[in-house]
Structure 1
Amino acid sequence: MKSGKVDQAKTQRLFYGWVVVAAAFCVALVAYGVQYSFGKFLDPLSEAFGWSQALVTGAASLFMFSRGALAILTGRATDKYGPRITVAIGGFFLGLGLILTSRISAAWQLYLFYGLMVGFGLSVAFAPLVATASRWFVQKRGLAVGIVVAGTGVGTAVIPLLARYLIDTYEWRWTYIILGLVAWAIIIPGALLLWRSPEDKGLLPLGKAEAIAGDEKNQNIKEDSLTSERAGFSLKDAAQTRAFWLLLAIIIFWSICLQMVMINIDKHAIGLNIPEIVAAKFLVVIGVLSIIGRLAMGAVSDRLGGKRTLAICLVLQALAMFWLLRATDIWMLYLFAAVFGFAYGGCVPQLPVIAGEIFKLKSIGAIVGVQMLGVAIGGAIGPLLGGRVYDVTGTYYLAFMVGGICTILALILLAFIRAPRKVSP
């Protein structure tokens, strides 16, 4: 029986795991593209209803928090029911929330439809995708995860630019309707391709056939493939370690800086008398360079490890933030966008990589789900803080300074992370 599966895995022309990776890439592209397009709606919403920047960005903060808080539940649902039904339901509510946001007439509706409903839809767009892709690969797992998270970078580059064009052409209400329909058209069909594991299709993870065959040249693969699904920390055991909470704090500080920039960089550039069409391109540059950062630093982490690679990325991100404080010309902002995009993109795959290095794969989906809660907490604080500082001072200078300091704090905490000695069976 086993040998039959091994032969099937070896002789199959296109390993289905790559279909899973492609589907997860598309889901991440649309979901995160929607998330990072919210900055394009700040002025249209403020002007349409006379709302302050803080009130509008408050919806983004609620969205980030609800997405992260629900990521733990959707992660558990993925473990129990599989990613297909979980991601499909999330995609349905994401599209519905966007369409309902197009009909709002009061602030509470923005908070309900965008902050909560869209937030729920986005809660399926990271941990379930990364965990599912990881199960399909023993060999090339880092590459597979890197491709999936690169989808978020492509979405960051493409969807906000599309949103800007649609807002200018059709106004913001029709733009939300179109984005909702796009979410339904891509995420729901993509979810149906996300089989939980190779075993569900009578296959083996890529590289596991060699391990079972006992190829001596693949001895490390053999040991990993035969133990990784069973060995490691449960979520409960991981939560009892100092490394777990240090990593969560690092993620929160990093996310405060990230989301503060992603939501407010357009408004900041326009405040420097830079034309809107040019300001819109900074987010595109961030997105494109983040794709390169995810893939390049993913490869670097295979050699240096996740912790050292994350340290490099955090140093670059901090330097970019303090450069932003002095950036007044277009070329300076382009340079910021390039360095910041590469640095933040490089950070993204390191989060599940470090979790895997420290806690192994036994409960990696649930642990990454908790990481998303950290991203959400930071993501709730960052935009709200940026909007509040702007309302009070008229600039984002102090907000971006805080973002740089938060990045340095994350770097300091990283130095104190040590892998726990004991691994639960």
Structure 2
Amino acid sequence: MITDNIGQESKLSYYGWVVVEMAFLANMIAFGIVYSFSVFLKMLSSDFGWTRAMTAGAFSAYAISHDVFALFAGWLTDKFGPRVIAITGGLCLAGSMILMSHITMIWELYLCYAFLLGWGVAASYTPMMATVSRWFTLKRGLAIGLTASGLGAGSLVLSPLAAWLISSYGWRIAYVFVGAMAFTVFIPIVIFIKKSPMESYEVKSQMEAIADFSLVEALRTRALWTLSFSWLFAALALWAIMIHIVPLLTDKGIPLTIAGFLAGLAGGGSMIGRISAGFLSDKLGRKITLITAYFFQLVMLIWLLFAKEMWGFFIFAPLFGISFGGWAGVIAAFPADYFGLKATGTIFGFVVIMAGIGVAIGSFMGGYIFDITHSYNYMIVMCILATFVAIVLASLMKTPEKGDLYA
């Protein structure tokens, strides 16, 4: 029966593709909210007189709390499945945005992002990616790529929408609208998302010739640490740019609506990168696809460092999106590929913790560097160096075996 199920993966009637659709929607709204922080950042900073480092620090706090929550959400998904977790995630995403429309103090900003949004995203991304991994074997790369493209779709939709709402109605009304949107989108997700048959995990792992690792066992492999730190440095570079891209552009005289559109264009490009990289990784291998995407990101960051005119930013945005979408659409498949399916939610949660540390460092350091130098150029240099380190670490990754565990 399990073999028959795997053979069904190529058919559109396979329920796993419904799971992909629901996971896509969850990622779209969750990370649409995350990416749109760049649009709100400068308005919050100027209205309340906060420095950019202080304001961006709320996003760093989100990244850190999300790290802790991701591991817990992954463990709960392994135990109880994704549906209950999705309910709490949707409510927290919507609630955080509604409450943001009423803030007057800096601690309220940190509360909404660090705790409510932190759990909302953790309860969306980690469980959804782990669940999709369990539904697929032969088409896992494509399924993960399609699911991860929801992140790009969120940026494509919410960043320009938030910019337009802020310009037309103000940032408080914009937050209310986004919160209502989050609540609405999660209704079908809660109804249709479900876990794959538990009995299939061991058999699928045997068919893939991969031993099932526990988290403790995975922590004793070089593969987990090279994967984790590679994601950390790549995420540091990515999120330093994405959180500060709108202020970076508006500081150069570009109107907010156009800056928001460019941020959304990067998200649109990432959809292409995620889907195409997921498909190619099934054909060419994940590691070569990952390293190629990292290298493309490095090239586009160098381009951004020297871009001065509007046309240069319009070239940068979609191509940078394709580059980071390429590696983001592939890297989420490595935990299941390397460590099996039994504890993939928990192991994935740990790797997300490491990535989140990079997100926290990158978003905060971007603001801190700007406050000191009054320029984002040194931030871009930091991102170039971080991406180079990610390439080196990715080149050292290899499939672990239980006989290679460190003592």
Q: Same fold (TM over 0.5)?
A: yes
Q: Is the 8 A contact 2:212 2:342 kept in 1?
A: yes
CA pair 421-266 structure 1, distance change in 2 beyond 3 A: same
Q: Does 1:414 align with 2:394?
A: yes
Letter in 2 for 1:63: Y
| Partner residue, 1:405 | 385
| Partner residue, 1:61 | 60
| Partner residue, 1:153 | 152
Q: TM-score, normalised by structure 2?
A: 0.92
Letter in 2 for 1:415: S
- Runs of 4+ aligned structure 1 residues displaced above 3 Å come to 222-231
Q: Is the 8 A contact 1:229 1:362 kept in 2?
A: no
| Separation in structure 2 between the aligned mates of residue 367 and residue 337 of structure 1, nearest angstrom | 32
Letter in 2 for 1:328: K
Which consecutive unaligned segments of at least 5 residues does structure 2 have? Answer: none
Letter in 2 for 1:50: G
| Separation in structure 2 between the aligned mates of residue 409 and residue 141 of structure 1, nearest angstrom | 27
| Separation in structure 2 between the aligned mates of residue 235 and residue 293 of structure 1, nearest angstrom | 30
Q: Is the 8 A contact 2:273 2:329 kept in 1?
A: no
Letter in 2 for 1:21: V
Letter in 1 for 2:295: V
Q: Does 1:79 align with 2:87?
A: no
Residue 230 of structure 1, CA deviation: 8.4
- Max radius of gyration: which structure? 1
Percentage of matched positions with identical amino acids: 36
| Partner residue, 2:350 | 370
Which residue, 266, 272, 293 being the options, matches 2:252? 272
Which consecutive unaligned segments of at least 5 residues does structure 1 have? Answer: 206-221
- For residues 384-416 of structure 1, the C-alpha deviation after alignment (integer angstroms, 9 at most, x for no partner) is 101011111111000110001000011111222
- For residues 185-231 of structure 1, the C-alpha deviation after alignment (integer angstroms, 9 at most, x for no partner) is 1124312311111469xxx89xxxxxxxxxxxxxxxx9746545983
Q: Is the 8 A contact 1:232 1:423 kept in 2?
A: no
- 2:43 match: secondary structure: helix
Q: Is the 8 A contact 1:92 1:188 kept in 2?
A: no
Q: Does 1:345 align with 2:329?
A: no
| Partner residue, 1:167 | 166
| Partner residue, 2:282 | 302
- For residues 54-86 of structure 1, the C-alpha deviation after alignment (integer angstroms, 9 at most, x for no partner) is 111000111111112210000111111210001
Q: Is the 8 A contact 1:321 1:403 kept in 2?
A: yes
| Separation in structure 2 between the aligned mates of residue 20 and residue 409 of structure 1, nearest angstrom | 35
Instruction: Please show how residues 68-107 of structure 1 align to structure 2 within 5 Å.
Output: 68-107=67-106
| Partner residue, 1:282 | 262
Residue 267 of structure 1, CA deviation: 1.0
Residue 352 of structure 1, CA deviation: 2.4
| Separation in structure 1 between the aligned mates of residue 25 and residue 106 of structure 2, nearest angstrom | 31
| Partner residue, 1:218 | none
| Separation in structure 2 between the aligned mates of residue 251 and residue 136 of structure 1, nearest angstrom | 24
| Separation in structure 2 between the aligned mates of residue 197 and residue 420 of structure 1, nearest angstrom | 25
| Separation in structure 2 between the aligned mates of residue 152 and residue 423 of structure 1, nearest angstrom | 37
Greater mean deviation of Cα atoms: 232-241 or 330-339: 330-339
| Partner residue, 1:209 | none
CA pair 64-33 structure 1, distance change in 2 beyond 3 A: same
| Partner residue, 1:142 | 141
Q: TM-score, normalised by structure 1?
A: 0.89
Greater mean deviation of Cα atoms: 386-395 or 16-25: 16-25
Greater mean deviation of Cα atoms: 176-185 or 392-401: 176-185
| Separation in structure 2 between the aligned mates of residue 20 and residue 104 of structure 1, nearest angstrom | 36
| Separation in structure 1 between the aligned mates of residue 344 and residue 209 of structure 2, nearest angstrom | 9
Instruction: Please show how residues 325-336 of structure 1 align to structure 2 within 5 Å.
Output: 325-336=305-316
CA pair 33-423 structure 1, distance change in 2 beyond 3 A: farther
